């Protein structure tokens, strides 16, 4: 067997929602683990990230995440876009694979990534200290990589276009996905050559934003194994109660000074991306 398609990133660009919409389709078999990180396992290990990830190491274990050989198989590991050798590894594994890349305003993406880590208790410094590189955290460079460097899309995307023909790559704009979800999902279905008339449940929110107020919960949610176990064990009404009691729906605000700085930081890369994909992304830096 071979996995047929990959949602390779970017993080915080709608990949989780698309994974679920594809999971609902009767012609697809999505990995039971959303992010196996099989093709980025070595890179994640070498980077010693601040969050604990447990990538799949063996091909047999990777293949065991898929249950139906009669359906097309897909997965969504957002680490696959950033790390340099992944595109080549996927090509070596399946040269016919289809690649889905989801792109979001790199400034909004950076801040959303920060908020995710903040709500999970993975960072206790300000967004400003990280992006202006004034943080005293020992792993501040890794935070800068995760929030800022991951948003430098052009070279990341070029790696896939260097390995795969353009007809095997679909680039999705997060704004289109957010505002015209049904149309974009049908476009993805068409790209994968599955029934475009199937309608997934689009009203469910995936990866909704919450800020943890309780210290114990913040500690627990910072542990990926505990977080996944709680999500599997607790029924929906208990999870809703916990969110209502201990989570704050009002996140920190992206400061205008930070936005202006990042607009200048990403300006050249956005111009290069627009030229490479022949699509105007200047809205991100205006």
The per-residue DSSP string of the chain comes to ----EEEEE-TTSSHHHHHHHHHHSTTEEE-SSS---GGGHHHHHHHT-SS-------HHHHHTT---TTSEEEE--GGGTTSTTHHHHHHHH-TT-EEEEEE--HHHHHHHHHHHHHHTTS--S-HHHHHTT----TTHHHHHHHHTGGG-HHHHHHHHHHHS-GGGEEEEEHHHHHHSHHHHHHHHHHHTTS-TT-----SS-SS---EE--HHHHHHHTSHHHHHHHHHHS-HHHHHHHHHHHEES------HHHHHHHHHHHHHHHHHHHHHHTS--GGGG-
286 residues of the chain, pLDDT tens digit each: 999 999 999 999 999 999 999 999 999 999 999 999 999 999 999 988 888 788 999 999 999 999 998 999 999 999 999 999 999 999 999 999 999 999 999 999 999 999 999 888 899 899 999 999 999 999 999 999 999 999 999 999 999 999 999 999 999 999 999 999 999 999 999 999 999 999 999 887 666 554 455 555 555 555 555 655 656 676 755 655 565 555 555 667 899 999 999 999 999 999 999 999 999 999 999 8
Contact criterion met (CB below 8 Å) for 103 and 196: no
Domains in the chain, start-ordered, CATH in brackets?
A: 5-209+251-280 (3.40.50.300)
Contact criterion met (CB below 8 Å) for 121 and 219: yes
pTM for the whole structure = 0.85
- Residue 107's alpha-carbon distances to 40, 143, 154, 178, 249, in angstroms, are 24, 14, 15, 16, 21
Q: What are phi and psi of 64, to 5 degrees?
A: -70, -10
pLDDT (tens digit per residue) in 183-201: 999 999 999 999 999 999 9
Pull the structure tokens for residue 70: 């009669």
Q: Give, rounded to a whole angstrom, the gap between the first and last alpha carbons of the chain.
A: 46
pLDDT (tens digit per residue) in 72-99: 999 999 999 999 999 999 999 999 999 9
Contact criterion met (CB below 8 Å) for 37 and 105: no
């Amino acid at each position: 067997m071979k996995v047929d398609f990959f949602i390779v990133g970017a993080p915080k660009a709608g990949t989780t929602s698309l994974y679920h919409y594809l999971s609902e389709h009767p012609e697809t078999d999505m990995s039971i683990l959303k992010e196996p990180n099989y093709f980025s396992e070595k890179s994640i290990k070498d980077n010693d990230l601040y969050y604990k990830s447990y990538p799949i190491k063996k091909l047999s274990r990777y293949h065991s995440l898929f249950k139906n050989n009669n359906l097309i198989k897909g997965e969504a590991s957002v680490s696959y876009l950033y790390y340099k050798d992944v595109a080549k590894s996927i090509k070596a594994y399946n040269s016919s694979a289809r690649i889905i890349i989801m792109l979001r305003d790199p400034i909004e993406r950076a801040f959303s990534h920060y908020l995710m880590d903040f709500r999970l208790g993975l960072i206790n410094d300000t967004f400003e200290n990280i992006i202006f590189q004034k943080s005293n955290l020992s792993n501040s460079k890794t935070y800068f990589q995760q929030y800022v460097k991951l948003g430098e899309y052009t070279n990341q995307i070029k790696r896939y276009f260097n390995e795969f023909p353009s007809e095997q790559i679909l680039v999705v704009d997060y704004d289109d996905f957010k505002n015209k979800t049904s149309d974009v999902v049908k476009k993805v279905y068409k790209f994968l050559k599955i029934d475009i008339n199937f309608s997934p449940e689009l009203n469910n929110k995936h990866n909704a934003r919450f800020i943890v107020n309780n210290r114990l919960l913040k500690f627990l949610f910072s542990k990926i194994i505990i977080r996944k176990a709680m999500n599997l064990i607790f029924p929906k009404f208990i999870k809703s109660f916990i969110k209502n009691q201990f989570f704050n729906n009002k996140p920190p605000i992206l400061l205008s000074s930070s936005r202006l700085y990042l607009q200048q930081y990403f300006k050249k890369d956005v111009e290069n991306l627009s030229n490479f994909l022949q699509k105007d992304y200047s809205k991100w830096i205006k």
